[in-house]
Amino acid sequence: MTELGTFLKQRREASGLTLDQIQQTTKIQKRYIIAIEEGDYKNLPGSFYARAFIKTYAESLGLDVDELYETYAKDLPKIEPQPTVQLSRKQTYSKASETSSRVSRWVPKVMLVLVAFLLMTAVYYVVRNLDFGDQNASPAEQTNSGVTIDQNKDVPEEEPVEEEPPVEEEPPVEEEPAEETGPIAVASTNGADLTYEIATADKLTTEIHVKESPATYVGVRDTSLEGPFLAPEYPNQSKQNPIVIEDAETDTLRIRIGLIGGVEKIVVNGRELELADSPVTQNIFVKRVDAE
């Protein structure tokens, strides 16, 4: 048994999670989870999958994977080099010949379609000239109806029309933007990092509603990751539910959730976040932006 496997097993038991619960959360077979805890990597399907399983297992426990890899580097399975496959000259020539053959088969068809299009265009213009050839007479000849107009007849003078004064237009009234309501969608995603943006001039007030089961890790800080936590790390031990952070003195909150299935909802300034089911462990950043 390795130190890494012993540490993961102790953290799982301390969180009150069984192997079946970890299997349901991570979708990793229980026999592979046991192999990781016992350090028996030969029963895992290759070093690449072994490292991926360890990462997913650690995230389900709310652990920092980078810090875990650095601390237990000697216990991690080594990545095996992948063999490179080079094509022979014969295979390369065969593929090039196949591509050239496809092109040569399509060229006659394209030329046939082009010739047919040119013939149809020529027929259209010939028919059009035959139909409208007799309509080229000048407008003067067509409108000569034989009616004579007496230009010496008196034409009554038009009375001047008094112009009305222009109406002054009222300046447009600027409408205030309506306050946004409804759930807040994810603005951007980067792996386990999910960023939400809320347009408000007020300070951030956050409520985190935690389920009784399954148990989950919750930690709230500002983005500097320095200073004390803004909320208890273990709500199932502190018995504080919901976790409330009122009028945070920061424009961005970082909420780390060890098991997203253990969170019922997160409400920021009266609006609920649209939570994502994946990944299991999430770093939720709630960012306050100025309302325009």
The answer to whether residue 137 is domain-embedded is no
CATH of the domain at 70: 1.10.260.40
Residue 5 — φ and ψ, nearest 5°? -65, -40
The answer to whether residue 125 is domain-embedded is no
d(CA 265, CA 158): 79
The one-digit pLDDT tens for each residue of the chain (292 residues) are 788 889 999 999 999 999 999 999 999 999 998 988 888 888 788 778 888 999 998 899 999 999 988 888 888 887 766 555 454 555 545 555 666 667 667 778 888 898 999 999 988 888 777 755 555 545 444 445 454 555 555 555 666 666 666 666 777 766 655 567 789 999 999 988 999 999 998 888 999 898 888 777 788 887 766 666 776 665 555 567 888 888 888 889 888 888 888 888 999 989 999 998 878 888 999 999 987 6
Neighbours of 59 (CB within 10 A): 21
- From 57, 75, 93, the end of a domain falls on 75
Which position has the token pair 């939570």?
275
Tell if the pTM clears 0.85, that is, is over it. no
Domain extent for 11: 3-75
Cβ-in-10-Å burial (0-12, 13-18, 19+) of 210 comes to buried
The answer to whether residue 28 is domain-embedded is yes
> In total, how many domains does the chain have?
2
Task: Report pLDDT digits (tens) over 10-30.
Answer: 999 999 999 999 999 999 999
pLDDT reported for residue 137: 46
CATH of the domain at 214: 2.60.40
Helical segments of 132-182, H only: 139-142
- What is the 8-class DSSP label of residue 61? T
Task: Report pLDDT digits (tens) over 109-141.
Answer: 888 898 999 999 988 888 777 755 555 545 444
In angstroms, how far is CA 149 from the centroid of its own chain?
77
Task: Report pLDDT digits (tens) over 71-85.
Answer: 888 888 877 665 554
Cβ-in-10-Å burial (0-12, 13-18, 19+) of 239 comes to exposed
The answer to whether residue 285 is domain-embedded is yes
Helix-then-strand count for the chain, H and E: 8, 9
